[in-house]
Chains A and B, each alone.
Chain A
Amino acid sequence: MRIAIIGFGSVGRGVAEVIAAKNTGLIVTAVADSRSGAIDASGLDIAAVLSNKKETGMCGTPDITVSDILSSDAYDVLVEVSPTNAETGEPALGYIREALAGGKHVVTSNKGPVALRFEELHTLAAEHNATLRYEATVCGAIPLMHTIECGIAGNEISRLYGVFNGTCNYILTRMAEEGLTYQQALLEARELGYAEADPTYDVKGIDAAIKLVILANAVWGMKKTLADVDIIGIDGVTSAAIALAEREDQTIRLIGEIDPANGVLRVSPGIIPKSHPLVVRDTLNAVTIETDLAGEITLIGKGAGSSETASAVISDLLFIRDCHGRRD
């Protein structure tokens, strides 16, 4: 199965490396970054592409663009892993639309397009007999979508809640364990590379809310947008508040929750017993799925990182290979 990778940052390079290293039956036939591109229908030399990227900052030549790749017939699956834009979803949204409309499968780690245009993209994929997969958009390496779609197929999901943002979890963990102030813990998270220079997206709860929108639409078809989520971040949480919770063997975590029957779609700090499975340390994510047949299932894992995100992308690719790879 032939793969085109759009976006050649750490995730894109990670995906290419795994495909080159493992015998998966996948070949990379096209890559593009913001400045260049490369196409070879018989398969690119990944080692050469990676080395070119390292030396020149470009994965290919400037005369080959994303458009050239999209309009070529050199690929079966588009791996769209360019940086996300939560407001418009572009330019990734356009790339995904074009690939699906051309009957190509799409695997993306890009939250913006999936959160903003889930229904449209889902319909477009169905109309063109293509598959859209987005495991990497929610909780990185945790196989949440696969578990819901396959692992617990046949269950009705009544509620879904958890820790969806590793940066906030790190900050709250450090505040609880070391008595750090919010500002001190945030500074530490930045120094360790867990928080961006502008941490608004994480600490205000927006990143977790986008993941809830994706889940609400994908799991329940709720047709929600970011504006429908009640959002309270962790930037107002004090270390004294955490200490008050800890007196009763509880702590505070940023919890995202979808409870359709009770009209709940929110992200907010919540008090939670320290023995609860959702109380995970550092940058881990954890999600509990409440089901009718299987009861409660809690999944824990790394929610971010290039190799973890690549893991989710590869698993989507192999799912497509196994389920749809021979459709021609």
Chain B
Amino acid sequence: MKDSPGQLVSVIQPISDIGGNILSVIHERDPEAGGDLLDVQIMCEIPEGSLETLLSGFRTQGVNVLRVGEERFLVRRSVILIGHLIHTDISDTIDTIDSTGYAEVHELSMVMPAINEPSSAKMTIKSDCLKDINRALAILRDVARAKGFLIIEPLEGN
């Protein structure tokens, strides 16, 4: 973008127009580059499927997008598992989700009160869209049925 006052606003506007959230802005003036152009790197969260709208918004504002970097998994869903989670091979349960390629187990907190008593675990699964989270949860439900543990899901997770 042009290195002149008010130019950053022309980048921020299209992001806020689509309901996005800016996480960081790296704004570096490279003395070697010369001219009046400036490279800006922005990390932001945007609603699923809105990337093309954002890019076209930038173009309208006269901003060239040089590169769209890594898209990260941003949708998370936490469930609680109750049962003999270790005895039924928790690693295998995690692998089943991770091996889908579209979702992965991001966090696991487990409470094991006593040997032979059921464990309780909070498992957070992340993915880049709601549809894939729901696909992963359907797989987890099948695993729970086969291994005999209980899944407690969030109310809004339908």
Residues of chain A touching chain B, judged by Cβ–Cβ distance below 8 Å, are 161, 232, 236-238, 240-241, 243-245, 247-248, 250, 252, 255, 257, 259, 262, 264, 268-272, 276, 278
* Chain A hits for B80, CB < 8 A: 241, 244-245, 252, 271
- Compute how far the CA of A270 lies from the CA of B122 in the bound complex, rounded to whole angstroms: 13
Interface pair B150/A236, CB less than 8 Å apart: yes
Determine the distance from Cα of A276 to Cα of B158 in the docked complex, in whole angstroms: 17
Residue of B nearest to A262 (CB): B158
Q: How far is the CA of A327 from the CA of B154 in the complex (A)?
A: 50
Cβ-defined partner of A255 (8 Å) among B79, B111, B122, B155: B155
Question: Which of B57-65, B88-96, B113-121 binds A?
Answer: B113-121
- Asked if B109 and A271 make an inter-chain contact with CB atoms under 8 angstroms apart, the answer reads no
Overall SS of chain B's interface: strand
CB distance from B78 to the nearest CB of A (A): 7
Subset of 8 A-B contacts with CB under 8 Å: A232-B150, A236-B118, A240-B119, A241-B80, A243-B111, A244-B109, A268-B153, A276-B155
- Given the complex, which residues of B lie within 8 Å of A232, measured CB to CB? 150
Please tell me if the beta carbons of B118 and A244 are within 8 angstroms of each other in the complex.
Answer: no
Give per-residue flags for B126-158: 1 if the beta carbon is below 8 A from chain A beta carbons, else 0. 000000000000000000000000101111001
Residue pair A270, B78 in contact (C-beta under 8 Å): no
Mask of B58-84 contacts with A, CB within 8 angstroms, 1/0 = 000000000000000000001110110
Q: Taking beta carbons and an 8 Å cutoff, which residues of B are in contact with A? A: 78-80, 82-83, 109, 111, 113, 118-122, 150, 152-155, 158
A272 and B154 form a contact (CB under 8 A): yes
Question: Which chain B residue shows the least CB distance to A255?
Answer: B155
A271–B82 touching, CB < 8 Å: no
CB–CB A244/B154 < 8 A? no
Asked if A240 and B113 sit within 8 Å, CB to CB, the answer is: yes
Are A252 and B111 closer than 8 Å at their CB atoms? Answer: no
* CB atoms of B153 and A271 under 8 A apart: yes
A271, B158: Cβ atoms under 8 Å?
no
Pick from A232, A241, A264, A269 the residue with the most CB of B within 10 Å: A241
| Smallest Cβ-Cβ distance to A181: which chain B residue | B113
What is the CB-to-nearest-CB distance from A276 to chain B, in angstroms, rounded to a whole number?
A: 7
On chain A, the residues within 8 Å of B120 by CB distance are 238, 240-241, 243-244
List residues of chain A with CB within 8 A of the CB of B153. Answer: 268, 270-271
Q: Out of B82, B118, B158, which one reaches A259, CB within 8 Å?
A: B158
Say yes or no: A248 contacts B78, CB within 8 Å. Answer: yes
Query: Contacts A241-B82, A244-B111 given: A271-B152 contact, CB under 8 Å?
Result: yes
CA A241 to CA B150, docked complex, whole Å: 11
Contact of A245 among B83, B119, B122, B158 (CB under 8 A): B122
